[in-house]
Amino acid sequence: MRFLIIKNLTIHYMRCVALGLTVLSCSHVKMFPSPSPKTSSPPTPSPIPSASVDKALGSYCYETLKKLPGKYHKARLRKACSRVLLKEGCVSPKNRSIFHYDKLSERVGGTRILVLALIHGDEFPSGSVARAWMERLEELDPRNSWRVIPVANPDGLVLKTRTNANRVDINRNFPTENWDQLALKMWKERYKSTWRKYPGPAPASEVETRCLMAHIKDFSSDFIISIHTPLGHLDFDGPKMKYPNFNLLPWRRFGHFPGSLGRYMWKDHGIPVLTVELKGNDPIKSFEVLDNLQDISGTLAIKALDRSKASSKASH
Ligand SMILES: [Zn+2]
Instruction: CATH number of the domain at 245, please.
Output: 3.40.630.10
Question: pLDDT tier at 178 (50, 70, 90 boundaries)?
Answer: very high
By the 8 A CB rule, do 117 and 227 touch? yes
Q: Answer whether residue 159 is part of any domain.
A: yes
pLDDT average, residue stretch 257-277:
94
Quote the pLDDT of residue 104.
Answer: 95
Q: Answer whether residue 268 is part of any domain.
A: yes
pLDDT average, residue stretch 210-231:
96
Q: How many angstroms does the Cα of residue 299 sit away from the middle of ligand 1? A: 23
Q: Which of 30-34, 77-81, 248-252, 277-281 has the highest mean pLDDT?
A: 77-81
Quote the pLDDT of residue 42.
Answer: 41
Q: Answer whether residue 266 is part of any domain.
A: yes
* Least confident segment among 29-43, 114-128, 179-193, 222-236: 29-43
Q: How many angstroms does the Cα of residue 229 sit away from the middle of ligand 1? A: 6
By the 8 A CB rule, do 64 and 98 touch? no
* Least confident segment among 9-23, 41-55, 136-150, 243-257: 9-23
Mean confidence (pLDDT) of the chain: 84
Question: pLDDT tier at 15 (50, 70, 90 boundaries)?
Answer: very low
Helices 55-66 and 8-18, packing angle to 10 deg: 160
Q: How many angstroms does the Cα of residue 68 sit away from the middle of ligand 1? A: 16
Which one, of 47, 104, 81, 233, lies nearest residue 151 by Cα?
81
- Number of structural domains found in the chain: 1
Q: Answer whether residue 2 is part of any domain.
A: no
Quote the pLDDT of residue 314.
Answer: 62
* Least confident segment among 214-218, 231-235, 280-284: 280-284
Q: Answer whether residue 34 is part of any domain.
A: no
Residue 177 and residue 298: Cα distance in Å, rounded? 28
Range of the domain at 216: 8-29+41-314
Largest CA distance in the chain: 55
Q: How many angstroms does the Cα of residue 123 sit away from the middle of ligand 1? A: 6
Question: pLDDT tier at 53 (50, 70, 90 boundaries)?
Answer: low
Q: How many angstroms does the Cα of residue 139 sit away from the middle of ligand 1? A: 29
Quote the pLDDT of residue 315.
Answer: 56
**Per-residue pLDDT at 91 exceeds 60:** yes
Neighbouring-strand partners of residue 296: none
| Angle, alpha carbons 174-268-152 (nearest 5°) | 30
Q: How many angstroms does the Cα of residue 199 sit away from the middle of ligand 1? A: 14
Question: pLDDT tier at 313 (50, 70, 90 boundaries)?
Answer: low
Q: Answer whether residue 35 is part of any domain.
A: no
pLDDT average, residue stretch 194-200:
92
Q: How many angstroms does the Cα of residue 228 sit away from the middle of ligand 1? A: 4
Q: How many angstroms does the Cα of residue 103 sit away from the middle of ligand 1? A: 25
Question: pLDDT tier at 311 (50, 70, 90 boundaries)?
Answer: confident
Q: Answer whether residue 284 is part of any domain.
A: yes
Q: How many angstroms does the Cα of residue 151 sit away from the middle of ligand 1? A: 12
By the 8 A CB rule, do 55 and 86 touch? no
| pTM, two decimal places | 0.82
Which class for 42: exposed (0-12), middle (13-18), buried (19 or more C-beta within 10 A)? exposed
| Paired sense of beta strands 101-103 and 231-237, if any | unpaired
Q: Answer whether residue 1 is part of any domain.
A: no
